[in-house]
Amino acid sequence: AQSVTQPDIHITVSEGASLELRCNYSYGATPYLFWYVQSPGQGLQLLLKYFSGDTLVQGIKGFEAEFKRSQSSFNLRKPSVHWSDAAEYFCAVGERAGSYQLTFGKGTKLSVIP
C-alpha cells in the first residue's frame, strides 16, 4: 500500500526566507505526486503535480518541487516566503493515471514571521 510521510509537523520561517517542505513516499511503481495547500477556512488548492518527465516541476504562487526517485522524495520549495504563504501543506500520492484515490500525508503547518 502506498504511504506518504511529511516529517515536519510545524515549520516557522521569516518572511523573505527560503522554504523547503519535505515529503517522502512509499510506492512500488512510478507515483503520481501532488502538493496541495489548505488555508484556514478554505478547501485544499493544488499547487503542483508530477506525473512523468522533468523531475523539477513548477507550480502556482512561485512554488516548485523536485522528484528524486532514489530518495523517494518530492520536496516543495520556495525561494522567498510571503506572509500569505502561511497555511497547511499536504503532499499526496496517486497510484496510477485515472485514479482519484490520493493518499495524503498528515500535513506540515507553515507559520511566517513578519
Partner 1 sequence: DAGVTQSPTHLIKTRGQQVTLRCSPKSGHDTVSWYQQALGQGPQFIFQYYEEEERQRGNFPDRFSGHQFPNYSSELNVNALLLGDSALYLCASSLIQRTGELFFGEGSRLTVL
Q: Does 10 bind partner 1 (CB under 8 A)?
A: no
- The nearer residue to partner 1, 78 or 107, going by C-beta atoms, is 107
Contact by Cβ (8 Å): 34, 45? no
Provide the 3-class DSSP secondary structure of residue 61.
Answer: helix
Q: Does 27 bind partner 1 (CB under 8 A)?
A: no
Give the containing element (helix H, strand E) for 73.
strand 73-78
Provide the 3-class DSSP secondary structure of residue 98.
Answer: coil
Give the containing element (helix H, strand E) for 100.
none
Options 34, 35, 63, 74; binder of partner 1; rule CB under 8 A: 34
Options 28, 53, 98, 114; binder of partner 1; rule CB under 8 A: 98
Options 21, 25, 32, 81; binder of partner 1; rule CB under 8 A: 32
Among 91, 114, 111, smallest CA distance to 103 is for 91
Stretch of residues binding partner 1 (CB under 8 A), selected from 19-27, 36-44, 57-65, 69-77 = 36-44
